[in-house]
Amino acid sequence: MNIYVGNLSRSTTEEETRKLFEPYCEVDSVDLITDRYSGEFRGFGFVGMGDKGAREAIVALNMKEVGDRNITVNEAKPRVRT
């Protein structure tokens, strides 16, 4: 399952994000989104992991305070192209 993680601090690293989700299931991938022009982290990303662990992580981590911010965690929606 692919999980959306939003409202992350701009200083968040892939390693910190991985460690946040690892207690729920093995993390397959972490993709933090950067601005294509400046290369700066945009404050959100995606975590890939097994379905059961992903559902547990969503329930446990949504609106959890991480680095003075309440993060948003939910199932990623497929990207709609127009």
Question: What value does the mean pLDDT of the chain take?
Answer: 95
Segment 31-78, tens digit of pLDDT = 999 999 999 999 999 999 999 999 999 999 999 999 899 999 999 998
pLDDT tops 90 at residue 81: no
CA nearest neighbour of 6 among 80, 53, 74:
74
Domains (range + CATH), the chain: 2-75 (3.30.70.330)
Q: Tell me the one-letter amino acid at 32.
A: L
